[in-house]
Amino acid sequence: MKITEVKLGKISVPLRVPFKTALRSVSSVEDIVVEVHTDTGAVGYGEAPPTGAITGDTTGAILGALQDHIIKTVVGRDVDDFEDLMLALNKCIVGNTSAKAAMDMALWDLYGQLYKIPVYKLLGGSRKEIITDITISVNDPDEMARDAVDAVRRGYDTLKIKVGAHPELDVARLTAVRQAIGNDTRIRIDANQGWEPKQAVRLLNQMQEKGLDIEFVEQPVKAHDIDGLKYVTERSYVPVLADESVFSPEDAVRIMQTRAADLVNIKLMKCGGLYNALKIVSAAEVYGVECMIGCMLEAKISVNAAVHLACAKKIITKIDLDGPVLCSEDPILGGAVFDEQRITVSDEPGLGIKGVEKMTYLD
């Protein structure tokens, strides 16, 4: 199975409601789609969102990396030479993890199709269904409480609450949400780097003293502040999950070795795809550190790839793959089925994607 051509496209999908964090506010998903064609007629699909505030990857940067480096690296190669293909992909350009992730998942898609097996089984998995949380955007306390009640009404039993914007309101936000939904729903929170270390400890301990029962806090401090992250981990009653501090497998190992966080968040767009995500998983298994699998604001192609990883690896115990359910429509044909919190993986060969509607092809 030789790669003959790569086509690029763009999709735009409105969100149900604007998505707000301590870093940004977004009203639609704007993704680059990769179609990798082969001499057998098989097509592999990948996808990358421009998440400049987190990965530094803009639409132009993603396209440039693909057109100037990545596509030239893979065209003409045989999918069966998979290890060499992955090594070449990761060496052809520094950084640009979103563009690499898009190509990476398209190649895994083809590799599964080559051997007529779904990717999650190719990775040794047997779990066919996972349960995701849903994100509640940062807003005024009353609005967040209403959004939380709506999510619980829709069947979600785990909410990820965004905090960190105007930190002085964060305890009030969490108090309003907990009072509105009761004690039967799990709450995890994401500060998106919005706190200082001492401030984080104070706020988190206040939340616990008020009985708000926080499952864990995601990235309470700046991504580069590993000492600050460790400070919070050692002094807070609430477990700490490292997100923006972990891009590469090397980042993950550093966090695990220094015990700077209790958990690690894997995102394909941060690490460059499934190939590197598997390295993080292996490190987590060695160090006994549980992982969450997360996503950016992405449509279903890329989140679908993360679903396959989650269904394959038991060290991934937390699921934050709500991107497709935050969208107002689904232009992706095939792949995993997203039924609110319940996600069912596809048993079709590869990643199971059959095509994309409403896509604009790019020259």
Name the active-site residue from 100, 121, 160, 162: 162
- pLDDT score at 22: 74
CA dist., res. 195 & res. 225, Å (int): 11
pLDDT along the chain (363 residues), means of 10: 99 92 86 99 98 94 99 99 99 98 99 99 97 96 97 98 92 97 98 97 96 98 99 98 99 99 99 99 99 97 99 99 97 98 99 97 91
The one-letter code for the residue type at 9 is G
Name the active-site residue from 20, 267, 270, 318: 267
- pTM of the complete model beyond 0.85: yes
Give the three-state DSSP class for 105. helix
- pLDDT score at 319: 99
Angle, CA 171 vertex, CA 22 and CA 196 arms, to 5°: 50
- pLDDT score at 291: 99
Question: How many Å separate Cα 231 from the centre of its chain?
Answer: 25
Q: Residue 67 is encoded by which pair of tokens?
A: 């057109």
- pLDDT score at 24: 75
Cα Rg, the chain, nearest whole Å:
20
* Helices within the chain (DSSP H only): 59-65, 71-74, 82-91, 97-114, 119-122, 141-153, 170-181, 197-209, 226-235, 249-258, 268-271, 274-287, 300-312, 323-326
Nearest residue to 311 via CA among 275, 357, 343, 334? 343
- pLDDT score at 21: 86
Angle between helices 274-287 and 300-312 (to 10 degrees): 30
The domains found in the chain, sorted by start residue, are 3-117+358-362 (3.30.390.10), 121-350 (3.20.20.120)
Instruction: Answer yes or no: 7 catalytic.
Output: no
Whether the CB-CB separation of 197 and 171 falls below 8 Å is answered with no
- pLDDT score at 10: 98
Question: How many Å separate Cα 301 from the centre of its chain?
Answer: 12
Instruction: Answer yes or no: 162 catalytic.
Output: yes
The set of residues, in sequence order, having a beta carbon less than 8 Å from that of 133 and lying 6+ positions away, is: 156, 158, 159, 160, 186, 188, 318, 319, 320, 322, 341
